[in-house]
Structure formats: structure tokens, C-alpha cells
Amino acid sequence: MELLEQDFYTQAILSLAALVGLTSFLMLGQGRLLRLIFVFAIQGLLLTLATALAGYSMNNTHLYISAAITLLLKVILIPWMLEKQVFKLNLHRDVEALNNKTAVMLGGASLVVFSYYVLHPVIQDTPLVLLNALAVGLSVVLLGMLLMISHRHAIAHVVGFMSIENGLFFAAIVSTRGMPMIVELGIAFDVLVAAILFGIFFLHISRSIDSLDVDQMNRLNEVDQ
Amino acid sequence: MIAAYLLLLLPLSGIVFFAVLGHHPRVGRINIKFNAFALLMSLWLAIDVFQSGSIISPGQLFLIDSFNVYLIVLTAFVGLTTSIFSAPYMRHEQENGKLSNKRLKLYYSMYQGFMFAMYLVLTTNNMGILWVAMEAATLATVLLVSLYRTPESIEAAWKYFILCGVGIAQALFGTVLLYYAAIQIGDTENALNWTVLYENASQLNPEILEIAFVFMLIGYGTKIGLVPLHNWLPDAHSEGPTPMSAVLSGLLLNDALYAVVRNKMLVDGATQTHIAGHLMMGFGLLSFLVAAIFLHKQQDIKRLFSYSSIEHMGLMTFAFGIGTPFATFAALLHMMVHSLTKSAIFVTVGHAAQIAGTQRIEHIRGLIKTQPAVGWGLLIGTLAIAGFPPFGVFTSEFLVLLATMHSYPWLTPLLLLGIGLACAGLFRNIQPMVYGKQPEGQQLVPANLWPVIIHLVIVLWLGLSIPQSLAEWFNQATILISGSAPL
């Protein structure tokens, strides 16, 4: 099946899926917090575009609303809040030394392959665009987890957490034209509250251990001290 | 149906009320009244369902059937008794200078927030809202885990937040897949409604549902505390204020299991195989055994009982996984007796920690001499949770064993091993704490032990004879879940 034979919507969604996947990889290798947040905002923007595009092709107002919510939350509000925290805690010059960058990237690539493998049973009776979108959604989720494992900084963890949410949202938009409105509003509310709580936590953590390096949080474990 | 709306509106108004007036000296009593009213509403709801069967609200937003109504009553009951315990407990903490007025406001406000999320999880008919409410329960409790602001509690809260957040994101992916399977067969706006899904379960694509269930089990399983996703649970339970440990153990874990069982009913309908059950059995048994072993090396009294919670949740997951009517009946009974016993134990544990001024097991000694009521409460509670007859936990564990012998006889030795290990693990730690020689400097604390007495008496009663009406109730729920009656 040639890409150029598809209609405009399919082509656009496939390209957006590729770009969303790419931003996840960019985040994976990024040691500077401000750039990490910037790439996260770009991912949110791509998500907004995908949602609006789906709304346009379906002529569906509800998708426009969720595009607006995404724009507000994921592109403007959350990146802005995170950036403010970075400046407030004076972290904008820090560069995190990432160990095993190559191994992490290769791991990320194998996660993408794994996502396609897991979702293979879905393929039989569905168009190709769906398989790709769901697989990219799942790989963004898994890459978000990998981001949290490979980075040691609490703010990077939050970016990973939110990008997991992005992956889920992308899968929902493309495969099912979004969730029912009430569910989507609920999810947006949860994300917003989570973002605020994370802000509170940064303050508490930096007060209690004097840094946001999660490796320093090691008081609770099963091993006898 | 009015009862269900009131049940939800009440804690919702409670959030605002306590956020403003939560520092008032009599606030503990007001919290009790809020929860008492919720219990009345839940009983009203239960009577409605008992007389006229399942209720679906206009617009299909809420569904009350025999399965969730029993959990609603249980939730309201444990919510009430824990609030009775929490009133003097929190006052003691405040007088000791551990909490400021602002944090007390936060505590009471979020107590109601948590109750609201629990009621929403149980009453909603929409699988998407179920997820939203489950996440909201995490958000409501995460700041309570770090209420004392010690480095340990902040670490525990962060772990809880990140692990449960990431875990439950998997459940959302499962929900997306479920929705995707559902819109292939019907209308889109109601496609996530459980009633619609359940009616059309046989038409759903079995392969997609299998994948969806794996994600749901991982997602909600993180909240149940299934091994190997359990890391957050002992930390969150041990570092937060004790009333929170009681409701987390007694309610949150149950509700997460409830979500898994609801999904299992759908998947079983679609696949017509037992794959979902086998997955649950595997995870459940693993959690049961691993937690029983970990009980032996605990140094913190609250961590000890958190591992006991993991163990019991594992057993319930296993029993629901077996899926025969008999096993389901046992699992439902076990859910109830475990909630009651575990929240009673956490109440006494909270007092014990206040008496000794620490949660370290090696420093808590001679409770029976210092404050006999607390010591006996802890001892009898532990007897009950370890599965000694004549308490209800014995009955339900015995039923699970019988069901296992019937369906999977070769798994029985593993279960027996786990029960034995857990019993030994609990008693090697509890015995010196209760008897032992009392150290210097222990002080009496104001304790309200009525919640403990009431809970343990009910558990004892359930162990001696299950009342006819309650048995009938369990029967109805069992028929709903497993398709036929056990008795």
C-alpha cells in the first residue's frame, strides 16, 4: 500500500504519528531540562494538530473542544509551570549526565518494535493507519517509562509521566476519535490536578533533600541499614 | 437513586466545607457526622437494590447492582468507623505539634475527597469514569501520605504518585482498547457503559479484549498491590497518618480489585475462555507467597501489616481468578472480613505507635501491661487476620482452599504454605510487642477503641454464622459475577 494513494487525512495522521514518536526519542536523549520541556510542548502541539485534524475530517465539534483543552494544558499550562519551577529552583543551567545513551536509544527502538508486535492481533480487520497509530501511542507510553528510568531528575520524571499521558491520548484520538466527552473532561481534570500536585512536590522534595535528584531518595527500602 | 446522588454530593460538599473550616476544634465530630450520613444513604441504597434489583440512573451514568452495593456499604461503614478513630488520633497529633491547622484542613478535606472518589468508582457505570475516579483517589491521598513532611514521608508519597500514576496509565490504555472494540459494534456515546458492554460482550473482538485485559490488570493491579508492582504500598501505608493507612488498606485496594473483576466479566464474555482468570490466579498466587515471605523481615509495624494486606489481596485476586461460584463467594466474603479486620488492626497499630512514640517493632513492647485495651485489640486483630477460627477470615480462607481443591487441587499445597508462612511471620513480630517487658517512657494515649470492637465482633459473627440476609446478598453478587449460585 503506497502512502501517496491514501487520502489526505490518513497521510497527515501517519506523518504526525511519526513526528510524535520522534519527539519521544528526542526527549529520551535530552539532558537539559529546559529543552526537555520544550520538546514536550512540541509533542503537545503535534497532539493538538492531530486532534483538530481528526475533528476536521469527521466534522466533529467535540474533537475541536478536546483539541483546545490539549493546547491549553499540554502546550501552554504544564510546560509553563514546569519552566517556572526550573527557574525558581535555579536548575536551568544544569545538564544531566545520561549514562548509556546508546543503550537507552537502542532500548527505545526495540520498545517500538515490541509495541507493533503486541498490537499485531488487532491488524486483521482494521485499516493500516490504525495499527500504526495505536502502535505509536503504545510506544510513546513505553518510551515515557524508559525516560523515567534513564533520567534521575524529578522534573524529567514528570515530563515522562505527562508524555505517557500524551501517548494514550494520541492512541485514543486516532483509533476511536477520542473518548466520550465526559471521560475526556475527567481525564483532563486529573492531569491538571496531577500537574499542580507535582509542583507542590518539587518544593517539598527540594526542601527536604536539598536537590531534585531522585537517587537521593533512598531512605525507604527492605534492606536493613 | 436519590440515595446514590446524595451519597456522591455529600462528600463533594465535605471537600469544600473542611477546606474552609477544617481547623475547628470540633471538626473530628463533624467528619463523623458526614460519614454517618453517608452510611445511612448506602443502607437505603442497599435496601432499594435488595428489593427491586439493579438500578440504572436515567442517562445511564450510574449503575447500582448487587456486586457494587455491597462494597458501597462496606466503604461507608469503614469510612465511618475510621473517622471515629481519626478524631482523637488527629487531635493527639495536633497537640504534639506534628500538624498545623493548615494541614489539618488538608487532611479532613482530602478524607472526604478520597471517600468521594471511592463512591464514584463504585457507582459509575462508565468504564472511563471508573478510571478517572481511580486516579482521583490517588491524587486525593498522595498529599496525605506526605502529611508529616518528613523526608521519608515525602519519598513515600513521591513513589506512590509516580508508580501508581504510571501504573494506572496502563489501565487507561486498556480502556482505550476496550472502547475501540466497543465502537465497532454500536453507538459511540454509550459504548463505554458497562451495561452496554456486558450485554454485547459476546460480540466484542476477543483478541483486542485479551490485550486490553492485560493492560487493565497491570494498571489496576498496581493499585491492588500485586507483586511485582507492589513497591509503593508498604511505603505509602507506613509513612502516612494511621487513619489513612486504614482506609487505604481497607478500601482503596478493594476498589481496585473491583475494577479488575468488572473487566474480567467483560473479557470472559468476549473470549469464552479462562485466560483472564488464569492471569489473575498467577499474579494473585505470586503476591500471596512473596508477601508472606516478606512478613518475616519487617522492622516497622505498619509495614508489617501492609505486607499482610498484599498477601490477602493476592488471595482474593487468586480466588476471583478461579472464577467458580464457590470461589467467587469466598472472595466476596474475604473482601469484607479483610477490610473490617485490617482497618481495626490499623486503628490499634496507630495507638500502639503513639504509646511507644515510634513505629519500630523492636521498640514497641509490653502493650498489654501499658494499655491493656490496645494490647488485646492488637492481639485479637492479629489472630483474626492470620486466619484463626472462629473468626470470619478463617471461614473465607477455608472456602478459598475448598474451591481450590475442587478446581486446581495441585495448587492447594502452595496456598497452605503461604497461610502458614504468613501466620508465623505475623506472630514472631506481634508476640513480643504485646507481651514482652514494657520499656521506660511509654505513655497512655486517649484511645477510642469502639471501631476495633465493632469490627472484630462483626468478623467474629461472620465466622460463626453468616446471617441469612447477608448470605442472600452475597449469593446475588456471586450469580452476577460467575453466572450461577454457589449454595
Reduced to 3 states (helix: H, G, I; strand: E, B; else coil), residue B204 is coil
Contact B235 A220 (CB under 8 A): yes
DSSP symbol at A220: -
Asked if pLDDT for residue A3 goes beyond 70, the answer is no
Residue in B closest to A130 by C-alpha: B180
In this predicted structure, what is the pLDDT of residue B110?
A: 93
CB B311 within 8 A of CB B287: yes
Q: Which residues of chain B have a CB within 8 Å of the CB of A122?
A: 207-208, 211
Q: Which residues of chain A have a CB within 8 Å of the CB of B139?
A: 190, 193-194, 197
Contact B239 A220 (CB under 8 A): yes
pLDDT beneath 50: ranges in chain B: none
Q: Which residues of chain B have a CB within 8 Å of the CB of A204?
A: 146, 149, 154
d(CA A42, CA A27): 11
Per-residue pLDDT reduced to its tens digit, B105-125: 999 999 999 999 999 999 999
Q: Which residues of chain A have a CB within 8 Å of the CB of B163?
A: none
| Closest by Cβ to A172, choosing from B176, B191, B299 | B176
The B residues from 231 to 260 touching A (CB cutoff 8 Å) are 235, 239
pTM: 0.94
In this predicted structure, what is the pLDDT of residue A224?
A: 53
Could you identify the residue written with the cell 428489593? B51
Residue B443 burial class via C-beta count within 10 angstroms: exposed 0-12, middle 13-18, buried 19 and up: exposed
**Which phi-psi region, left, alpha or beta, contains residue A179 (left: φ > 0; alpha: ψ -120 to 50)?**
beta
Domain boundaries, chain B: 2-482
Query: In the numeric block, which cell numbers belong to residue A186?
Result: 475527567
In this predicted structure, what is the pLDDT of residue A223?
A: 57
User: What number of CA atoms fall less than 13 Å from residue B294's CA on the CB side?
Assistant: 25
Could you identify the residue written with the cell 484520538? A173
Q: Measured between CB atoms, does B165 come within 8 Å of chain A?
A: yes
Q: Measured between CB atoms, does B166 come within 8 Å of chain A?
A: yes
d(CA B132, CA B140): 12
DSSP symbol at A213: B
In this predicted structure, what is the pLDDT of residue B99?
A: 85
Per-residue pLDDT reduced to its tens digit, A36-84: 999 999 999 999 999 999 888 888 888 899 999 999 999 999 999 999 9
Q: Judge if the upstream peptide bond of residue B243 is cis by omega within 30 degrees of 0.
A: no
- Close Cβ partners of B395 (under 8 Å, ≥ 6 residues apart): B333, B337, B389, B462, B463, B466
In this predicted structure, what is the pLDDT of residue A57?
A: 85
Whether the CA torsion B181, B187, B189, B194 is positive or negative: it is negative
Contact B159 A220 (CB under 8 A): yes
Residue A102 burial class via C-beta count within 10 angstroms: exposed 0-12, middle 13-18, buried 19 and up: exposed
ipTM of this complex: 0.92
Q: Measured between CB atoms, does B77 come within 8 Å of chain A?
A: no
Q: Which of A144, A155, A58, B191 is nearest to A67 (CA)?
A: A58
d(CA B175, CA B187): 16
Per-residue pLDDT reduced to its tens digit, A178-203: 778 888 888 889 999 999 899 888 88
Per-residue pLDDT reduced to its tens digit, A13-40: 889 999 999 999 999 988 889 999 999 9
Which uninterrupted H or E stretch holds B56?
Answer: strand B55-56
Q: Which residues of chain B have a CB within 8 Å of the CB of A217?
A: 151, 154-155, 158-159
